Chains A and B, each alone.
Chain A
Amino acid sequence: DQQVKQNSPSLSVQEGRISILNCDYTNSMFDYFLWYKKYPAEGPTFLISISSIKDKNEDGRFTVFLNKSAKHLSLHIVPSQPGDSAVYFCAAPDVKTSYDKVIFGPGTSLSVIP
């Protein structure tokens, strides 16, 4: 049973436009979320996080929004650049294991078209 879901396997966006990547979770106990970015042939790298005490966290072109009642979060990239083309993973710590165990979604592959 996937506790972190990313229902869009892929997304294509024109350069300069907004990219919106979605993530849903099933465990209402999750209170911290992370986004990781992965280029081909590399390991994932941390991008941005959000705590459940906030509904928005912004870092440059990247903003994560959290809707706790809907158990939904989204990552917005504005403006999108070709270098943003990568796989994006949504993740949440497993609250049963003192937050060390991080559960990842299946990922969304973003293509930014020049």
Chain B
Amino acid sequence: DARVTQTPRHKVTEMGQEVTMRCQPILGHNTVFWYRQTMMQGLELLAYFRNRAPLDDSGMPKDRFSAEMPDATLATLKIQPSEPRDSAVYFCASGHNLNTIYFGEGSWLTVV
């Protein structure tokens, strides 16, 4: 049963610390997305990759967020330094076309 795997599922960290979230997309999917869910904004697209190349990261705060895809089986989203306003659920999703965008279960981040 193919699925998008995200780690960690839950993270509580102190303000100023570095946070790294990892995602293993479904094998064979060529597009990987990072979304953030907040109460006010719903699902915000932070960044996405096609064939490992970053296509758009305009949704990310550039000074503290970075997204990479070091290989086809791993995508990372890093926050350094983290701030309380970064507290949210971060979703990774992968797919080939619009009907087959599969989401992971999310990484719940709390910055205190």
Contacts from A to B (Cβ < 8 Å): 6, 32, 34, 41-46, 49, 89, 91, 93, 97, 99-107
A contact residues around B45 at 8 Å (CB): 101-104
A contact residues around B69 at 8 Å (CB): none
Whether A101 pairs with B56 at a CB distance below 8 angstroms is yes
Q: Is B12 in the interface zone, CB < 8 Å from A?
A: no
Whether A93 pairs with B105 at a CB distance below 8 angstroms is no
Q: Is B31 in the interface zone, CB < 8 Å from A?
A: yes
Whether B31 pairs with A100 at a CB distance below 8 angstroms is yes
A-B contact pairs, 25 of them (CB 8 A): A32-B98, A34-B99, A41-B105, A43-B102, A43-B103, A43-B106, A44-B43, A44-B103, A45-B103, A46-B102, A49-B99, A89-B43, A93-B98, A97-B55, A100-B31, A100-B50, A100-B55, A101-B48, A102-B98, A103-B45, A104-B35, A104-B42, A104-B45, A106-B41, A107-B43
Q: Using C-beta atoms within 8 Å of the partner chain, give the interface range for chain B.
A: 20 to 34
Contact with A along B89-112 (1 / 0, CB 8 A): 001010000111111111000000
Closest to A106 in B: B42
**Complex Cα distance A29/B62, Å?**
29
Whether B56 pairs with A105 at a CB distance below 8 angstroms is no
Q: Is B40 in the interface zone, CB < 8 Å from A?
A: yes
**Complex Cα distance A103/B44, Å?**
8
